[in-house]
Structure 1
Amino acid sequence: MAAIGIIPARYASTRLPGKPLVDLDGQSMIQRVVAQARQANLARVVVATDDQRILDHVRDFGGEAVLTRPDHPSGTDRVWEAFEQLGQPGDTHCIVNIQGDEPFIQPAQINALVDLFSPAAPPPIATLIKPVLTDEELFSPHLPKVVTNQHGQALYFSRHPLPYQRQHPSHDWLAHHQYYRHLGLYAYQPQVLRQLTLLPPSPLELAESLEQLRWLEAGFAIQTAITELDAFGIDTPEDVARAGQRLARG
């Protein structure tokens, strides 16, 4: 059995056009993501892009890439098309969707999801969560939070802190409950990923602008794994500058 990592990488970006090709201390962002993913327990790492320039660049530095349709509504759909283009290898038990704008993704974070897919009882879907440490994280609508059951399965994702602690002032919530934020790294059983691409948008998804709520509404279980390692997504020129500073510090 094998796990495959697929990295969706679009050229268009409202705030940072050509984002995958942005230079970060001598290497492109997508090259750094590929290099990190290759250190994880993955049989293959493939970039799924909608742009010939990205395709050529990945192949130039020795990476594997496929050219996908430009009109996919989400990275999930792009990942499935890439897997189809690879011939849907029959020994694949796990597909990991790795964000193309996180050049500091850690192999241990990827492995934490792959390890959940035991042959005996693999989850349909898995994703990473991280303890919330500050009020800024807790109340930021840009950092989705997640509530889980006693088995670590997601009950709900929200841009608002959940649960609401009626008996405590909001500035004191972290002292009375362990909150978790969601990190956008997913893994799926191949046949489940195919089913997800056939689902229409759902009411909760549209309300929160969180695609994973569509899957929960459709009845799919999402297993979570906890990581203490942070995520660092790049969406703006300011993020590029911060990434450069981080690389300079080593």
Structure 2
Amino acid sequence: MAESLSPIVVIPARLKATRLPNKPLADIHGEAMIVHVWRRAVEAAIGPVLVACAEEEVAEAVRKAGGEAVLTDPDLPSGSDRVSQALERFDPEGRYTAVVNVQGDLPTIDPGIIRAVFEPLADPAVDMSTLVTEITVEEERTNPNVVKAVVGLAPGQRTGRALYFTRATAPWGEGPHYHHIGLYAFRRDSLKRFVALPQGILEQREKLEQLRALENGMRIDAALVDTIPLGVDTSADLDRARALLAPSSRS
């Protein structure tokens, strides 16, 4: 790496999800979903793993499995705020200089994807990094629920600077479009700055938190990966995760 960083993985989790209440504690083959996410993050082997919990029940499930958990203010507005507060409470001395934010609803995530989102921080000019994958399903290009990252990648290039994120179809013209995957890695100072910033005009318009960073001159680089991790938002997603994590399917 071009720069020595001391990373930590932080997984924000809260019970008050609108579409699937209590989903961090949803049972997947005898263990809470948040425990499966924690295990995948541990397998990434890039640093210690901390779960940032809005409720004591989630912390108890993580600790029972042998993990580390920190309670955060349940009224924090975003996962990024929860990650930042947990990190300050867990490590007030500042031993960890970079943090990977892994969403708590990704029980089947490939540990390699977690490693991939951290790698662009090797460039000291990068404040935060994220992931993209090339869109191959035609209707996703115009679907506003599929967030597009505008990043110029030459053939064979795996990392590039993200210029914008949008629900529209962009950029115009021939060439690939990239589906944004909402995992992030931050330099610790960049995360502290990010959560202290007011909401941006474009952030509010597009309903995309990462635009706050771009509107304030922060640099985001994106790493290209081949697959999109399954996010569990509905009972159907949960059934699919259970099928993917069934002992027979993992053997």
Contact 1:116 1:122 (C-alpha < 8 Å) held by counterparts: no
Structure-2 residue corresponding to 1:225: 223
CA distance in 2, matches of 1:146, 1:115: 18
Q: 1:136 to 1:245 in 2, by over 3 A?
A: farther
How big is each residue's C-alpha offset from its partner over 1:89-124, in whole Å with a ceiling of 9 and x where there is no partner?
A: 534231000000011111111111222232x62511
Deviation at 1:26, TM superposition (A): 2.3
Structure-2 residue corresponding to 1:153: 161
How big is each residue's C-alpha offset from its partner over 1:14-59, in whole Å with a ceiling of 9 and x where there is no partner?
A: 1111010001222211011000000113221000011011011111
Structure-2 residue corresponding to 1:73: 77
Q: Which amino acid is the alignment partner of residue 163 of structure 1?
A: P
What TM-score, normalized by structure 2, do the two folds share? 0.90
Instruction: Find 2:214's aligned residue among 213, 216, 221.
Output: 216
Contact 1:144 1:159 (C-alpha < 8 Å) held by counterparts: yes
Contact 2:81 2:195 (C-alpha < 8 Å) held by counterparts: yes
Structure-1 residue corresponding to 2:19: 15
Structure-2 residue corresponding to 1:170: none
Contact 1:93 1:117 (C-alpha < 8 Å) held by counterparts: no
CA distance in 1, matches of 2:75, 2:62: 21
Aligned to 1:39, the other structure's residue is in SS state: helix
Structure-2 residue corresponding to 1:240: 238
Structure-2 residue corresponding to 1:93: 97
Contact 1:6 1:46 (C-alpha < 8 Å) held by counterparts: yes
Q: Which amino acid is the alignment partner of residue 196 of structure 1?
A: F
Contact 2:53 2:71 (C-alpha < 8 Å) held by counterparts: yes
What TM-score, normalized by structure 1, do the two folds share? 0.90
Structure-1 residue corresponding to 2:156: none
Structure-1 residue corresponding to 2:40: 36
Deviates more, 1:184-193 or 1:148-157: 148-157
How big is each residue's C-alpha offset from its partner over 1:151-210, in whole Å with a ceiling of 9 and x where there is no partner?
A: 711111011221234xxxxxxxxxx31110110110000011000011111111111110
1:5 aligns with 2:9: yes
Aligned to 2:44, the other structure's residue is in SS state: coil
Contact 2:108 2:244 (C-alpha < 8 Å) held by counterparts: no
Q: Over aligned residues, Cα RMSD in angstroms?
A: 1.6
